[in-house]
Amino acid sequence: MEFHAEKPIYRQIIDFVSARIVEGEWPDGSRVPPVRELAARMSVNSHTVLRAYDALQADGIMEVRRGMGYYLTADARERSLQMLRREFIESKAPAFFAEMHRLGLSIEDLTTDSPGI
Amino acid sequence: MEFHAEKPIYRQIIDFVSARIVEGEWPDGSRVPPVRELAARMSVNSHTVLRAYDALQADGIMEVRRGMGYYLTADARERSLQMLRREFIESKAPAFFAEMHRLGLSIEDLTTDSPGI
Amino acid sequence: MEFHAEKPIYRQIIDFVSARIVEGEWPDGSRVPPVRELAARMSVNSHTVLRAYDALQADGIMEVRRGMGYYLTADARERSLQMLRREFIESKAPAFFAEMHRLGLSIEDLTTDSPGI
Amino acid sequence: MEFHAEKPIYRQIIDFVSARIVEGEWPDGSRVPPVRELAARMSVNSHTVLRAYDALQADGIMEVRRGMGYYLTADARERSLQMLRREFIESKAPAFFAEMHRLGLSIEDLTTDSPGI
DNA sequence: GTGGTCTAGACCACG
DNA sequence: GTGGTCTAGACCACG
């Protein structure tokens, strides 16, 4: 997997997992790839994957079953969406439009480069 | 000044200075606050302010006059606007709308919390 | 059966068995549930039950009769009580009261939530 | 520092820090030992200390000031006490008295070994 | 097999 | 100086 430099890898892994959940590829309650397996697949240290799983567990999106691995919780998708949407609506969007305004831009100025609005 | 924890302070200072320039409070060619003064005003290490001024200098927005301090260049506002707008249109906006779409949100969902669109 | 996450499952099984013995539900010398049966009843790996039985055997509380299964020893209840009481009095209780003291709490502070003192 | 084997070291460090806070040795708002310094003092890897500090930060007991180290929050002692007391009253105490009861012991049986009740 | 903890050591961003 | 991230590698408990 390709990582970019601006964001810590473990956060990019969190984003990756969240995307799998939100897009329904990894359904609620299903088992997620074992730490070491995902680490190998992503050419990353298992530590780094573990850290991401840990954070997701703290958010109630994953749970560990002893000796059996990590599983998505029953409401993993719901929770993920809620958290992501909330941050988007309450924090990212206001900042986005504030900057747009400051730069003297309007929605129209963006449409060329941002099809699909 | 209040800083948030997610973003490095020196970047927040860059943002602050850019805002002053774009909004015309600090006009082209004018002298900017001395490093130590701004540092004191913001309760921040002068190192940190220097780092921000350095970055702005690299972008042709500021220049040092030895023994006289930092000044905005003749086209500081123009350059700032250009750089910020370009990054906004080419990078931030597409990412923003892509995520909005991924989360199943529409512009309407944001209007309550984002007045001034 | 419900397990909590903090304690290894096999220890929780040991606790469960000890409780059965101390409360007289499983009398001295009686046969205990076969490993696989208890495992099934508890929705647990037989490995895990075996591990608990093993530990109890090491403490002289259970014994294996080849081809016949696990049995409680003749003095299983006596031994269990002795071991548990000893650990309770010599280790758990002192630690408990020391912490209570450190936290500025008294027995009275606990009575509401701990009926049956 | 001496550690016992039953509990992960990083948790023992959390306990150590909590004790310093609760006993008032490390007052609210004060700076705590730098990660590497405490690690050296305890003959432990800095990773391990960082992990403990991280957990305390998540509980609102510590905060990082960029480039300046970890500090106790303004209500660190209050929070610590609250968390520890809560767990003691709601979880440890009920379990303690339940086991005491199961073992046929009374408070009196403990007094010899647990002076200062 | 599966996760959890720990170490030694490197390198980096920030102040 | 101070924390943050990452790796390689070891060892362990649990199932």
Residue C65 sits at φ, ψ, to 5 deg, of: -110, 115
Strand E nucleotides within 7 Å of a protein CB: 1-9, 13-15
Contact predicate D61/D79, CB 8 Å = yes
Q: Can you say whether the dihedral through the CA atoms of B27, A92, B97, B95 is positive or negative?
A: positive
* CA atoms of A30 and C47, how far apart (whole Å): 24
Question: C3 with C9: CB under 8 angstroms?
Answer: yes
Which C residues between 27 and 46 have a beta carbon under 7 A from any strand F atom? Answer: 44-45
At A46, list the tokens: 């298992």
Q: Which of C92, C107, C111 to probe the D interface (max D CBs under 10 A)?
A: C92
Tally of CB atoms within 10 A around C97 = 20
At B18, list the tokens. Answer: 């850019």
User: Of B35, B31, B36, nearest to B72 (Cα)?
Assistant: B31
CB atoms within 10 A of CB C114: 19
For chain C, the straight-line distance linking the first and the last C-alpha, in angstroms and rounded, comes to 27
Chains B and C touch (3+ CB pairs under 8 A): no
Residue D92 · residue D72 · CB < 8 Å: no
- Which of D7, D90, D96, D106 is best to mutate for the C interface (most C CBs within 10 A)? D96
Q: Model confidence at D3, in pLDDT bands (50, 70, 90)?
A: confident
Q: Is any atom of nucleic acid chain E found less than 7 Å from the CB of residue D79?
A: no
Number of Cβ pairs < 8 A linking chain C and chain D = 72
pTM of whole model > 0.85? no
Mean pLDDT of chain D: 91
For residues D30-41, b (16+ Cβ closer than 10 Å) or e, as one string? Answer: eebbebeebbee
Confidence at residue B29, expressed as pLDDT on a 0 to 100 scale: 94
Q: Which residue has the tokens 């929070």?
A: D79
Cβ(D44)–Cβ(D36) under 8 Å? no
Q: What pLDDT band is residue A117 in, cutting at 50, 70 and 90?
A: very low
- From chain B, the residues in CB contact with D67 under 8 A are 45
Interface test with C, best of A57, A62, A66, A68 (most C CBs within 10 A): A66
Verify if strand F has an atom below 7 Å from the CB of D31.
Answer: no
- For D31, the token pair is 């700076």
Residue ranges, chain C, pLDDT below 70: 112-117
3-class SS at C63?
strand
Token pair, residue C56, equals 């109890």
Question: Residue B116: what pLDDT?
Answer: 46
Q: Which residues of chain B have pLDDT under 50?
A: 114-117
**What's the confidence (pLDDT) of residue C117?**
44
DSSP for D80-117, written as a single string? HHHHHHHHIIIIIHHHHHHHHHHTT--HHHHHTTSTT-
The number of residues making up chain C comes to: 117
The pair phi, psi for residue B114, each rounded to 5°, is: -125, 70
pLDDT of A113 higher than 80: no
Q: Are strands D62-65 and C69-72 parallel, antiparallel or unpaired?
A: unpaired
pLDDT digits (tens, 9 = 90+) for A85-99: 999 998 899 989 999
CA of D82 to C1' of F14 (A): 33
The pLDDT of residue C2: 74
Residue C1 is given by DSSP the state: -
Q: Which long-range contacts (CB under 8 A, 24 or more apart) does C1-8 make?
A: C1/C41, C1/C42, C1/C43, C1/C44, C5/A64, C5/A66, C8/A66
Query: How many of the other CB atoms lie within 10 Å of CB of D86?
Result: 11
What type of residue sits at position C31?
Answer: R
D94 touches strand E (CB under 7 A): no
In 3D, which of B77, B83, B12 has the Cα closest to residue B49? Answer: B12
> Is the per-residue pLDDT at D71 higher than 70?
yes
Helix (H) or strand (E) holding B33, with range, is none
pLDDT of residue C110: 84
Q: Using DSSP bridges, classify how beta strands B69-72 and B62-65 pair: parallel, antiparallel or unpaired.
A: antiparallel
pLDDT at B50: 92
Q: DSSP labels for A7-49?
A: S-HHHHHHHHHHHHHHTTSS-TTPBPPPHHHHHHHTT--HHHH
What residues of B are in contact with residue D64 (Cβ under 8 Å)?
5
In single-letter form, the type of residue at position D100 comes to M
Q: Higher confidence at residue B23 or residue D2?
A: B23
Residues D19-67 pLDDT 10s: 999 999 999 999 999 999 999 999 999 999 999 999 999 999 999 998 8
Count Cβ atoms below 10 Å from residue D53 Cβ, excluding itself: 23
- Is the CB of residue B79 less than 8 Å from the CB of residue B73? yes
pLDDT tens digits, A4-54:
878 999 999 999 999 999 999 999 999 999 999 999 999 999 999 999 999
If you search the block for the tokens 């520092």, which residue do you land on?
D1
What is chain D's length?
117
Q: Give the model's pLDDT for residue C1.
A: 73
Q: Helix, strand, or coil here: C53?
A: helix
Q: Which of D89, D103, D110 is facing C109, going by the closest CB pair?
A: D89
Counting CB pairs under 8 A, whether chains C and D reach 3 or more, is yes
